[in-house]
Amino acid sequence: AVVAPGAVHVPEWLPPERQRELVAACRKWARGPVPLRHTVLPGGGVMSVQTVCVGWHWQPYRYSRTADDVNGARVAGFPDWLAELGREALTAAYGDESPVRRYAPDTALINFYDGAARMGMHQDKEELSGAPVVSLSIGDTCVFRFGNTENRHKPYTDVELASGDLFVFGGPSRFAFHGVPKVCPGTADPASGMSRGRLNVTLRETGLGT
């Protein structure tokens, strides 16, 4: 479903077996070299979501190779199979069009939501590339709020994201405000590899080079 220009929702795109593979990879990254943890914001706020990064480390509000705000370790490398998954996702959302074969994501932000976690409305502006963001949801269903480019308030559209759903945000939707006002605990299918909580993996091009 096209939710807005460039914003395409593909329900049940990732089959359960590939969801489990992705969960297994995320469990490994969650242990290190930089652990899954609550990001602390510059003003002292602590995010309710827990995050671990691959390829580049997002520390609010910049990317780095080392997790200077956590343990100083260098982040895990971004694997080729994850970039390939991103290209498959773009093809599924947009069809076999020109930008697809050139999509080269170099960072993944992996977010874990327990039953109480939320993400406030924000824009993702740290990337120097205007390439699309690929989002994969696994585990509990959530309410995802897709807003406008002007401000964090109305108009917005609420969309339920369930396990295996793909969402691609490109073109005019790339810099829209968005957030997760609610997760629905206990809605995960154990076949996803998540017995509780929600995992979201976003793939991005940072535009930062090597």
CB 22 within 8 A of CB 88: no
Q: Report if residue 163 touches ligand MD3, rule: CB under 6 A.
A: no
Of 181 and 210, which has the nearer Cβ to ligand MD3?
A: 181
For residue 124, state whether it binds Fe ion (rule: CB under 5 A): yes
176 binds ligand MD3 (CB under 6 A): yes
Distance from the Cα of residue 139 to its chain's centroid: 14
Position 114 contacts ligand MD3 (CB under 6 A): no
C-beta atoms surrounding 132 within 10 Å: 27
- CA 60 to CA 64: how far, in whole Å? 10
* Residue number, 173 or 192, with CB nearest to ligand MD3: 173
Instruction: Choose, by CB under 6 A, the member of 22, 174, 192, 206 that binds ligand MD3.
Output: 174
CA–CA separation, 119 vs 135, rounded Å? Answer: 15
Q: By CB under 6 A, name the one of 180, 183, 194, 203 that touches ligand MD3.
A: 180
**Is 160 an interacting residue with respect to ligand MD3 (CB under 6 A)?**
no
Between 88 and 124, name the residue whose CB sits nearer to Fe ion: 124
Give the nearest distance from C-beta 141 to ligand MD3 in angstroms: 11
Tell me how crowded residue 1 is: count the other CB atoms within 10 A of its CB: 9
From 167, 182, 205, 206, residue interacting with ligand MD3 (rule: CB under 6 A): 167
DSSP 45-83: -EEEEEEEEESSEEETTEEESB-TTTT-PBPBP--HHHH
141 binds ligand MD3 (CB under 6 A): no
Q: Does residue 135 interact with ligand MD3 by CB under 6 A?
A: yes
* Residue 147 or 193 with smaller CB distance to ligand MD3: 147
Closest CA to 128 of 85, 174, 89: 174
Phi, psi of 67 (to 5 degrees): -85, 75
Cα separation, 160 vs 145, in Å, equals 9
**Of residues 21, 88, 114, 124, which one binds ligand MD3 by CB under 6 A?**
124
2-4 vs 7-10, strand pairing mode: antiparallel
Contact positions toward ligand MD3, by CB under 6 A? 109, 111, 119, 124, 133, 135, 167, 169, 173-174, 176, 178, 180, 200, 202
Contact positions toward Fe ion, by CB under 5 A? 124
